[in-house]
Structure 1
Amino acid sequence: MLASSLIIGAGVPVALFYIAYKTASWVFLAAAALLGALAIFWGAVMALAAFVPILDYVDALAEERGSRLNAYRALARSLLEELDEVNAVLKEIRDELKRLGET
């Protein structure tokens, strides 16, 4: 479908330019210029229409990954807090063992 669209979009204006060259007619030249401009314009419109859903998907994916990253950061913070608590308990145990070892 894409190939046929490209062939028609490029082939028709080229054929009209050829006819305008062979017949020396301004009508064919104007028609070729008009069809070429329309083909370029509608090609750009269709390209934008095709890429907008892709860009929306990429934005949604980036937002989802951002929320996952925030969740992982919160998890890492909570694990570090728990490790700090474990470290404090282990220091208390070490101090008790040192105190008991001295007596």
Structure 2
Amino acid sequence: MGTSYHLGAKSGQTDAFDCSSFVQYLYGLYGIDLPRNSRQQANVGITVPKSEIRKGDLLFFKRNDTGDNIGHVGIYAGNNQILHTWGPGGVRYDNIEQGWLKEGFVVAKRVLPEY
């Protein structure tokens, strides 16, 4: 928690992350290879309705500067919380039903094996 956010952080770098390198790093710890950026990651796994998301699902968002394109990814942590990294504060939990996360939600993907 609190590891710095840095847009364009390199794969494998752990002193700072951007959203997709953070997700790629965490999933890699468990043997799941993901592409490097959020748009590519959104093409992996199966699409699940937002009403059926569960812990570990990837949530994808558009941002003001990405138009209708995906520009952010995080991991659903349950109870409307997402584990992600963004701006000041770096790695943290935020509520997906507030602010730009609520407005920018695009799709949820399940990439973890069934458990």
Could you tell me the TM-score, scaled by structure 1's length? 0.23
Greater relative contact order structure (CA < 8 Å, 6+ sep): 2
Report the structure number with the largest CA radius of gyration: 1
Which has a greater percent of strand?
A: 2
Could you tell me the TM-score, scaled by structure 2's length? 0.21
